[in-house]
Chain A
Amino acid sequence: EAGVAQSPRYKIIEKRQSVAFWCNPISGHATLYWYQQILGQGPKLLIQFQNNGVVDDSQLPKDRFSAERLKGVDSTLKIQPAKLEDSAVYLCASSLERGRNYGYTFGSGTRLTVV
Chain B
Amino acid sequence: AQSVTQPDIHITVSEGASLELRCNYSYGATPYLFWYVQSPGQGLQLLLKYFSGDTLVQGIKGFEAEFKRSQSSFNLRKPSVHWSDAAEYFCAVGAASGTYKYIFGTGTRLKVLA
Residues of A participating in the B interface, judged by any CB pair closer than 8 Å: 4, 33, 40-45, 48, 55-56, 91, 93, 98-101, 103-109, 111
Contacts and interface: CB of A to CB of B under 8 A. Distances in A.
Contact of A41 (B34, B46, B107): B107
Dominant SS at the A interface?
loop
B44 A43 contact: yes
Contacts of B99: 48, 55-56, 98
A108 B42 contact: yes
B46 A43 contact: no
Dominant SS at the B interface?
strand
A65 B39 CA distance: 27
Contacts of B94: 100
Contacts of A44: 104
Interface in B56-114: 90, 92, 94, 96, 99-107
Given A48-B99, A100-B32, A103-B49, A108 B104 contact: no
Contacts of A91: 43-44
Contacts of B49: 103
B105 A42 contact: yes
Contacts of A99: 100
Contact of B101 (A40, A42, A45): A45
